């Protein structure tokens, strides 16, 4: 056809076409990622980047892990999805594995973190309502993040995410992190659930104290409310324990036995395939009967097979996560000691935050130019969530790069990177 010969088909620029046709709800970095292998990703010009964010804590086994590639290839030609009208061979075994690792009993599968939190809130509502229709309040934390759907957003303690969508769910009370007195004030006979992130991720890598969590568990029990742990970011090996709450069990001096009634997980479970899971004890799970909740896609054959493979690989990775995490934090501590504007290292395992006295975002861009993907949360906290397979030499390269970047910053707090 003459007209197409005259106007050659143009390959539109990836950034331009996104900006023209995709909802503009993300402020993306100017980087087009085309492939990944291990702890590296490659852009459209073939440049390599060390990945210290893992798709926000999702790519726990890095990119193109051979075992994951193998099971995906096998399963995709066999069965991807059959709905929850029927059984398939992988959902039950995956739930059994999650029960074994968590100490809880029953799992509901969905497709994302926020959806898991949403389901957990429905569970709490139904649980409370069986006792008393007025028992629907949820106690949550300032600076927490639980997701973007209306229910999960209602228990998210950050005005910047909530503001445009109010009014949200009624009966949500927020208390400051680790504030025992405020917690005691907030929990009452009207409380259906207390929702906690054992380590706040989006909120700047801030850990709850064992004492605070134990008090929350006591209060929840005393008022017959559910204790819900959101381990979407900190769970499934990220901290070097299967679940972050189990770190409190390992505290030798004060061996805590704290157990949630409900555990919400997602991010790393599907190695990049969407999956979320609500893992509950029998008491909480009994609140949801047949027909009360569901998901068309939830717990499909392909994603459950991948998640089973991930959980098979995880035990062998935990010691290295702990050791490399200690090494990472020790190296970052040297930057705290060296630079006045570098305030504090926080985190457990490979969930690491570096709190600055100045905005962190300029460093994210500078690191990208140097070939490192890092992230900034809560304005001033550089957040690192590398794949669990990261090695010390790569951690060392990143810390050296940060050191060089920080060296260019003039007298703090000047208000940004030099
Ligand atoms: C990411 C995250 C969520 C939301 O998960 P999505 O999969 O993005 O919906 C909820 N809670 C915590 C702690 C998270 O880190």
CA of 213 to the centre of ligand 1 (A): 20
Predicted local distance difference test score (pLDDT) of residue 10:
60
- Given the CA of residue 114, which atom of ligand 1 is nearest to it? 9
Name the H helices within 132-158: 150-154
Which of 196, 202, 297 for mutating ligand 1's site (highest number of atoms within 8 Å of CB)? 202
Helix or strand (DSSP H, E) at 382: strand 381-384
The torsion angles phi and psi of 139, rounded to 5 degrees, stand at -105, 130
pLDDT attached to residue 9: 59
* C-alpha to C-alpha distances, 263 to 78, 113, 129, 243, nearest whole angstrom: 31, 11, 20, 9
Of all protein residues, the one whose alpha carbon is nearest to atom 11 of ligand 1 is: 146
Contacts with 178 (C-beta within 8 Å, 6 or more apart), sequence order: 208, 209, 212
The DSSP bridge pattern shows strands 172-175 and 199-200 to be: unpaired
| Ligand 1 atom at minimal distance to the Cα of residue 144 | 13
Q: Could you please report the per-residue DSSP string of 209-232?
A: PHHHHHHHHHHHHHTT-EEEEE-T
From the CB of residue 316, how many other CB atoms can be counted at a distance below 10 Å? 9
Which atom of ligand 1 is the closest one to the Cα of 202? 15
Compute the distance from residue 113 Cα to the ligand 1 centre, in Å.
4
DSSP 148: S
DSSP letter, residue 112? S
- Residues having CB closer than 6 A to ligand 1 are 112-114, 117, 145-147, 197, 201-202, 230, 232-233, 266-267
Do residues 389 and 62 make contact, with C-beta atoms less than 8 angstroms apart? yes
With beta carbons less than 8 A apart as the criterion, state whether 244 and 199 touch: yes
Specify the CATH number for 11-64+317-407; select among 3.60.20.10, 3.90.1150.10, 3.30.70.990, 1.20.1250.20.
3.90.1150.10
> Which of 232, 270, 278, 351 is the pocket-test mutation for ligand 1 (most atoms within 8 Å of CB)?
232
Residue 3 confidence (pLDDT): 47
Contact, 60 vs 385, CB < 8 A? no
Ligand 1 mean position to 200 CA, how many Å?
11
Give the pLDDT confidence score for residue 256 in this predicted structure: 85
CA of 12 to the centre of ligand 1 (A): 33
Q: Where are the domains of the chain?
A: 11-64+317-407, 69-314
For the four alpha carbons of 227, 232, 236 and 237, in that order, the dihedral sign comes to negative
Q: CA 297 to CA 231: how far, in whole Å?
A: 22
In 84-225, where do the E strands start and end?
106-110, 137-141, 172-175, 191-196, 199-200, 206-207
Say if 11-64+317-407 and 69-314 have the same CATH topology: no
Rounded Cα distance between 369 and 297, Å, is: 39
C-alpha to C-alpha distance for 124 and 301, rounded to whole angstroms: 28
Q: What is the pLDDT along the chain (418 residues), one digit of tens a residue?
A: 444 455 555 666 999 999 999 999 999 999 999 999 999 999 999 999 999 999 999 999 999 999 999 999 999 999 999 999 999 999 999 999 999 999 999 999 999 999 999 999 999 999 999 999 999 999 999 999 999 999 999 999 999 999 999 999 999 999 999 999 999 999 999 999 999 999 999 999 999 999 999 999 999 999 999 999 999 999 999 999 999 999 999 877 777 899 999 999 999 999 999 999 999 999 999 999 999 999 999 999 999 999 999 999 999 999 999 999 999 999 999 999 999 999 999 999 999 999 999 999 999 999 999 999 999 999 999 999 999 999 999 999 999 999 999 999 955 444 444 4
Which residue's CA is the nearest one to ligand 1's atom 7?
113
Atom of ligand 1 nearest to the CA of 56: 1
Query: Counting beta carbons within 10 angstroms of the beta carbon of residue 184, is it exposed (0 to 12), middle (13 to 18) or buried (19 or more)?
Result: middle
User: Taking the model in full, what pTM does it have?
Assistant: 0.95
69-314: in CATH 3.40.640.10: yes
What is residue 253's predicted lDDT score, i.e. its pLDDT?
77
């Amino acid at each position: 056809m003459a007209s197409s010969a005259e106007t050659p088909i143009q390959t539109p620029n990836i950034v331009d076409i996104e900006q023209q046709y995709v909802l503009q709800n993300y402020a993306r970095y100017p980087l087009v990622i085309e492939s990944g292998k291990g702890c590296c990703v490659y852009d459209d010009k073939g440049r390599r980047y060390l990945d210290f964010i893992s798709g926000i804590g999702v790519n726990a086994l890095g990119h193109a892990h051979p075992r994951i590639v193998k099971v995906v290839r096998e399963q995709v030609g066999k069965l991807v999805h059959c709905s929850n009208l029927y059984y398939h061979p992988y959902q039950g075994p995956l739930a059994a594995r999650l029960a074994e690792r968590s100490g809880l009993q029953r799992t509901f599968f969905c497709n994302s973190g926020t959806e898991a939190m949403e389901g957990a809130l429905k569970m709490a509502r139904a649980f409370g309502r069986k006792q008393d229709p007025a028992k629907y309040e949820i106690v949550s934390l300032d600076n927490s993040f639980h997701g973007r759907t209306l229910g999960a957003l209602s228990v998210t303690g950050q005005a910047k995410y909530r503001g445009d969508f109010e009014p949200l769910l009624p009966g949500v009370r927020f208390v400051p992190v680790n504030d025992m007195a405020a917690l005691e004030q907030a929990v009452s006979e009207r409380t259906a659930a207390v929702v906690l992130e054992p380590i706040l991720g989006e909120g700047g890598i801030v850990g709850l104290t064992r004492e605070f969590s134990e008090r929350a568990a006591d209060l929840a029990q005393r008022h017959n409310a559910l204790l819900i742990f959101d381990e979407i970011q900190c769970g499934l090996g990220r901290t070097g324990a299967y679940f972050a709450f189990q770190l409190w069990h390992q505290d030798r001096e004060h061996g805590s036995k704290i157990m949630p009634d409900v555990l919400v997980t997602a991010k790393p479970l599907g190695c990049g395939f969407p999956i979320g899971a609500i893992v509950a004890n029998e008491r909480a799970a009994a609140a949801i009967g047949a027909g009360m909740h569901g998901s068309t896609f939830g717990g499909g054959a392909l994603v459950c097979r991948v998640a089973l493979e991930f959980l098979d690989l995880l035990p062998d990775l935990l010691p290295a996560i702990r050791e490399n995490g200690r090494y990472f934090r020790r190296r970052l501590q040297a930057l705290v000691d060296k630079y006045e504007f570098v305030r504090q290292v926080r985190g457990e395992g490979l969930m690491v935050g570096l709190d600055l006295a100045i905005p962190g975002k300029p460093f994210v861009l500078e690191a990208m130019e140097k070939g490192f993907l890092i992230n900034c949360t809560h304005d001033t906290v550089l957040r690192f969530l590398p794949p669990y397979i990261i090695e010390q030499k790569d951690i060392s390269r990143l810390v050296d790069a940060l050191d060089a970047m920080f060296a260019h910053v003039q007298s703090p707090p000047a208000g940004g990177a030099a």
